Amino acid sequence: MSHRTIRPALAAVAAVAVLGLTAACGTSGPSGAGAPAAAGSAAAGKGSASVWIMSGVTEKTFKDSFDRWNGAHPDQSFTSQSFANDAYKQKVHTAIGAGQAPTLIYSWGGGTLRQYAKNDVVVDLSPLAQDPAFADKFLPSVLATGEVDGKTYALPNNGTKPVMIYFNKDVFSKLGLQPPATWDDLMAMVPKLVHAGVAPFTVAGQAQWPLLPYLAYLVDRIGGPEVFANIAADKPDAWSDPAVTEALKDIQQLVDAGGFQKGFASTSTDSGADVALLYSGKAAMTLGLPSAYQTMLTADPAFVKAGKVGIIPFPAVTGGKGDPKDVTGNTSNYWSVSASASKADQQAAEDYLKAELSSPDYVSSLLATGNIPAVKGIDDQLAKTDQPEYYETLYKAAEDAPSFQLSIDQALAPNAATALTTNLQQIFLKQLTPQQFVDAMNKTIGQG
């Protein structure tokens, strides 16, 4: 495998862009809390490789994995430190700019990874990713997010999180409704729900990013995955694709029909106020990440365990080009190998990735934290979980997806991501027309 040497000046430029992007990604980071760990954690063994671990739900999975590796490979061991989300972003920004990044770099893919690859910050892992003995262990739709211009620079290290529609089965049953298979079916349901005093959808508009899946799914269903691929690639006037305008019109039609709860723009997701409307029967559906389900499980476990939550894909659009099996969401989190690390540490990192990321212990640990591994052939393990229908439904959505669109705020460069969430909220609030949105977003293309 060829390794490329970091260019400090370019890396500094990349780090500035990367920090801006990660700060803009409302759907990207784990909600880990806590102060950064003290620097200088003792290394186990003789290795000099390093890794910074994100605190939060998956922290134990990471730590246990490196402990296993260090115990079995003392000459290739890793020194690890843990950081909360924001602290990590600040520290890795500084370290990359100085050419002193940890051997394994944690990221969210998308615009961040493109900046890393463009500026030679990370190693090309294509030989490993193209080795059938390795690649065939992972879901292709998730592995693809680690690619930039046909080369692989990152490998999945966390659970996969497709956005799905979660619905209240009691509400549907009482009103004689069936889960919508098409957008037309969904729109036909809206007046029935409104008449019954139930919000068709609950959404946390205050944070802005929960609005993104509506645009992502409608654009995909209407125009196919190529539309957002062109946008992410900064092709001139890519936002002018007719699928974007049609999707924006559909969103505003849904708003006009009363498709969301009153005051949705001020509803908070941090407090769980959005999904509370679902399990209380005040809303019929929510379009969200798996965190919506986990919030309901925590807030009203009896409701969830009684089987009252249904999970369905986003409906098809009649005549659209997109495959109804396409999904959007957080494909995973990723490890990249730093190009500024020594050749020995780079080799240790690649050996670790090859051995650990699909190991049975790693898969079991992710499942224990409520995460869905992006690893093939784990049906038996999913069936043994405490919520098999939930795990199996989301896993199959990721497994069968011809295209898994990374959450679009993560997929874009920082300026575009910020403009996107702001302008999309104005679409929902009827403060912008679809054409005004398109014109504004086209101006962000190529601006970083």
Strand bridging mode 327-330 / 309-312 = unpaired
pLDDT of residue 356: 97
From the list 28, 393, 420, the residue with the least C-alpha distance to 214 is 420
Burial classification of residue 54, based on how many CB atoms lie within 10 Å of its CB (0-12 exposed, 13-18 middle, 19 or more buried): buried
Over residues 71-83, mean pLDDT: 96
pLDDT of residue 22: 38
For residue 251, give both structure tokens: 């969103």
From the list 113, 43, 29, the residue with the least C-alpha distance to 81 is 43
Calculate the CA dihedral of residues 358, 361, 365, 368 and round it to 10 degrees.
110
Q: What is the DSSP letter of 46?
A: S
Residue located via tokens 């080795």: 131
**Helices and strands: H and E segment counts in the chain:** 22, 14
For residue 317, give both structure tokens: 């659009």
**How many residues appear in the chain?**
448
pLDDT of residue 14: 39
pLDDT tier for residue 413 given thresholds of 50, 70 and 90: confident
For residue 270, give both structure tokens: 């941090």
pLDDT tier for residue 128 given thresholds of 50, 70 and 90: very high
Q: Calculate the CA 228 to chain-centre distance.
A: 15
Q: What is the DSSP letter of 257?
A: T
Q: How far apart are CA 147 and CA 349, in angstroms?
A: 18
pLDDT of residue 28: 37
User: Which residues partner with 51 through β-bridges?
Assistant: 80, 104
pLDDT of residue 56: 84
Is there a contact between 422 and 209 (Cβ–Cβ < 8 Å)?
Answer: no
- Residue 443 to residues 167, 238, 439, Cα–Cα distance (Å): 37, 10, 7
Q: How far apart are CA 155 and CA 144, in angstroms?
A: 9
| Three-state secondary structure string covering 293-327 | HHHHHHHCHHHHHCCCEEEECCCECCCCCCCCCCE
pLDDT of residue 15: 39
Q: How far apart are CA 438 and CA 211, in angstroms?
A: 17
Is there a contact between 369 and 57 (Cβ–Cβ < 8 Å)?
Answer: yes
Residue located via tokens 């990249």: 336
Is 39 a residue whose pLDDT tops 90?
A: no
Is 153 a residue whose pLDDT tops 60?
A: yes
pLDDT of residue 42: 36
pLDDT of residue 428: 98
pLDDT of residue 7: 30
Helix (H, G, I), strand (E, B) or coil at 360: helix
pLDDT tier for residue 11 given thresholds of 50, 70 and 90: very low
pLDDT digits (tens, 9 = 90+) for 237-256: 999 999 999 999 999 999 99
Q: How far apart are CA 19 and CA 17, in angstroms?
A: 6
pLDDT of residue 46: 74
Q: How far apart are CA 71 and CA 77, in angstroms?
A: 8
- Residue 257 to residues 191, 199, 316, Cα–Cα distance (Å): 7, 11, 19
Mean pLDDT of the chain: 89
Residue located via tokens 């490329």: 4
pLDDT tier for residue 45 given thresholds of 50, 70 and 90: low
pLDDT tier for residue 275 given thresholds of 50, 70 and 90: very high
- Residue 330 to residues 289, 368, 407, Cα–Cα distance (Å): 8, 19, 6
Q: Calculate the CA 329 to chain-centre distance.
A: 5
pLDDT digits (tens, 9 = 90+) for 341-373: 999 999 999 999 999 999 999 999 999 988 999
pLDDT tier for residue 18 given thresholds of 50, 70 and 90: very low
